[in-house]
């Protein structure tokens, strides 16, 4: 690429991120004021984010107010799956774009009106790269990795794993049929992010869901008091 285009690219990327960060800070301020626990779920396509969300919602919907923002390039399938659980959900279609941005969350919240003291789950576009750079104003990013993807992913996509406070290993019911070394995967994740908290779950069998739900409860308790 020519130097001119390259220089403009770097300058503009900084401007785009700065503009995004400004709106993200406004979102965060609102979430904190309204005691809304906003979580940004990120992963590859097909890691089981929506299934995990549906299962999580079933477990907590009777005692915690919830709302969901779904991001996908196309289709409204995921929002429909979420709505079937009874939780309010809004779908954002990003078209050719590869990630959600803070302004999209601001616009979606203006329609969705998440309740005070609620949990707001934001399911990002399936992409283990680009959403790492975009703050949405969330409390933290939660990276979801399915055991069918291979244990090397934290090393190959380190930006996402270091940008996340939590990693959820999904589809652990499939472990007997795979060559996936859980301990090695956890070690790799800790290598790029020593502070990362790790949960191992199966949305199919329910195994491991309790620890993840406990984490949500504790996080919310710290926020709501």
| Cβ-based neighbour number of residue 133 at 10 Å | 14
Please tell me the total number of residues recorded for the chain in this structure: 225
Whichever of 45 and 206 has its CB closer to a second copy, that residue is: 45
Whichever of 20 and 40 has its CB closer to a second copy, that residue is: 20
Whichever of 27 and 127 has its CB closer to a second copy, that residue is: 127
Whichever of 159 and 215 has its CB closer to a second copy, that residue is: 159
Cβ contacts of residue 91 below 8 Å, gap of 6+? 70, 71, 72, 76, 78, 79
Q: Rounded distance, CA 52 to CA 170, Å?
A: 8
Minimum CB separation of residue 95 from a second copy in Å reads 9
Q: Rounded distance, CA 114 to CA 205, Å?
A: 30
Backbone angles phi, psi at 64, to 5 degrees: -130, 130
Q: Rounded distance, CA 172 to CA 70, Å?
A: 24
Whichever of 1 and 110 has its CB closer to a second copy, that residue is: 1
Minimum CB separation of residue 177 from a second copy in Å reads 6
Minimum CB separation of residue 62 from a second copy in Å reads 27
Minimum CB separation of residue 88 from a second copy in Å reads 21
Cross-strand pairs, 144: 43, 168
Whichever of 155 and 213 has its CB closer to a second copy, that residue is: 155
Minimum CB separation of residue 105 from a second copy in Å reads 13
Minimum CB separation of residue 189 from a second copy in Å reads 14
Q: Which residues bind a second copy (CB under 8 A)?
A: 1-2, 5, 8-9, 12, 15-16, 19-20, 44-47, 72-75, 77, 96, 98, 101, 103, 125-130, 133, 146, 148-150, 152-153, 155-159, 171, 174, 177-178
Minimum CB separation of residue 60 from a second copy in Å reads 24
CA-to-CA separations, 205 to 18, 166, 173, 210, in angstroms, rounded: 43, 21, 7, 12
Instruction: Write the burial class of residue 111 (CB in 10 Å: 0-12 exposed, 13-18 middle, 19+ buried).
Output: exposed
- Beta strands 140-146 and 89-93, pairing class: unpaired
Q: Rounded distance, CA 102 to CA 105, Å?
A: 5
Whichever of 49 and 220 has its CB closer to a second copy, that residue is: 49
């Amino acid at each position: 690429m020519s130097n001119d285009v390259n220089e403009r690219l770097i300058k503009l990327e900084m401007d785009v991120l700065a503009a995004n960060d400004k709106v993200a800070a406004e979102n965060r301020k609102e979430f904190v004021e309204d005691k809304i626990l906003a979580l940004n779920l990120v992963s590859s396509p097909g890691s089981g984010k929506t299934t995990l969300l549906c299962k999580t919602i079933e477990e907590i919907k009777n005692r915690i107010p919830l709302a969901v923002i779904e991001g996908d390039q196309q289709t409204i399938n995921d929002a429909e799956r979420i709505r079937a659980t009874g939780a309010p959900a809004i779908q954002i279609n990003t078209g050719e774009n590869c990630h959600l941005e803070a302004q999209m969350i601001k616009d979606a919240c203006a329609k969705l009106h998440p309740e005070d003291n609620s949990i707001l789950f934001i399911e990002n576009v399936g992409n283990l790269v680009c959403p790492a750079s975009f703050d949405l104003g969330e409390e933290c990013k939660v990276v979801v990795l399915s055991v069918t993807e291979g244990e090397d992913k934290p090393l190959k996509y380190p930006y996402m794993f270091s940008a996340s406070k939590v990693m959820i290993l999904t589809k652990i019911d499939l472990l007997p049929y795979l060559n996936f070394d859980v301990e090695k995967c956890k070690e790799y994740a800790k290598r790029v992010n020593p502070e990362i908290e790790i949960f191992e779950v199966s949305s199919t069998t329910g195994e491991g869901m309790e620890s993840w739900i406990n984490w949500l409860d504790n996080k919310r308790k710290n926020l709501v008091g």
